Amino acid sequence: MTPIIDGLLAADVLDGIRSRPLPELRELRTRCAAVESDVSMARRLAQGRLDIVIHEARRRSGEGVAGLLYDLPDILSDEAANRTPGSRPDVRVGLPGVVGDELVDRLEAIASPVVLSGVQHLGQTELDELFGRISEFEQGLSRNRRQLHERIDAIQSEIGRRYRDGEASVDAVLSSDES
C-alpha cells in the first residue's frame, strides 16, 4: 500500500526475532504501532465515506431522511452498540505520520469531500463505482491493520518471553539507556 507499510509487512521482517537486541525489537514495535495508528485513522475516514455513500443509496431506495436519522447515532459513534452506557471507546488520536498523510491523500483521490458533498448528483453507476473504490481501499486497510497487529503481537510476545525466561530484566532497563 505504501513503501513503509510494505516494509513492515514483508515476510522476513520478523526473521531472527529471538536473537535481535531488545532495543531493536522495541523500536520495531514502536514503528509498527505508529503505522497501525495511521492505518486505523485512514480506515475510519474511509468507513465514514462509505457511510455517506450507503446512506445516499438508502435515500434513493425510499428510506429517505427517516432512515438517515435513525442510523445517525451509529454513523457518528464508534461501535455504539458494543459499548456499555457511559463508557467511552479507547481511541487515541494523534497527528498522522507520513503514512497517514499518504493514505489520506489516496482516499482523497478516491472520494474527496467535494465528491461526497455532491453524492446526491451522481448517477447510480457512478455511486456504485464510488462505493466499490472506497470499499476496496477500506478492505486493504483492514488487511494491513490486521497484519500490523500480528507483527506487534509477535514482537510483544518475544519481549515478554525474554522477561519471563530471565533473558531480560526490568532492573537492566531501568539502569540503562536500553529503554
Give me the pLDDT at residue 34, please. 95
Give me the pLDDT at residue 59, please. 81
Cβ-Cβ contacts under 8 Å for 25 (sequence gap 6 or more): 17, 155, 158, 159
Say yes or no to pLDDT of 13 above 60. yes
Structural domain contains residue 44: yes
Say yes or no to pLDDT of 96 above 70. yes
pTM: 0.79
Q: How confident is the model at residue 178 (pLDDT cuts 50, 70, 90)?
A: very low
Structural domain contains residue 134: yes
For residue 83, how far is the Cα from the chain centroid?
Answer: 20
Give me the pLDDT at residue 1, please. 83
Coil, helix or strand at residue 168: coil
Q: Which domain holds residue 148?
A: 24-80+96-169
Give me the pLDDT at residue 81, please. 45
Structural domain contains residue 28: yes
Structural domain contains residue 120: yes
Q: How many domains does the chain have?
A: 1
Structural domain contains residue 89: no
Q: Using an 8 Å Cβ cutoff, are 140 and 2 in contact?
A: no
Q: How confident is the model at residue 27 (pLDDT cuts 50, 70, 90)?
A: very high
Cβ-Cβ contacts under 8 Å for 92 (sequence gap 6 or more): 37
Give me the pLDDT at residue 56, please. 87
Most confident of the ranges 58-72, 83-97, 153-167? 153-167
Say yes or no to pLDDT of 120 above 70. yes
Q: Using an 8 Å Cβ cutoff, are 105 and 45 in contact?
A: no
Say yes or no to pLDDT of 69 above 80. no
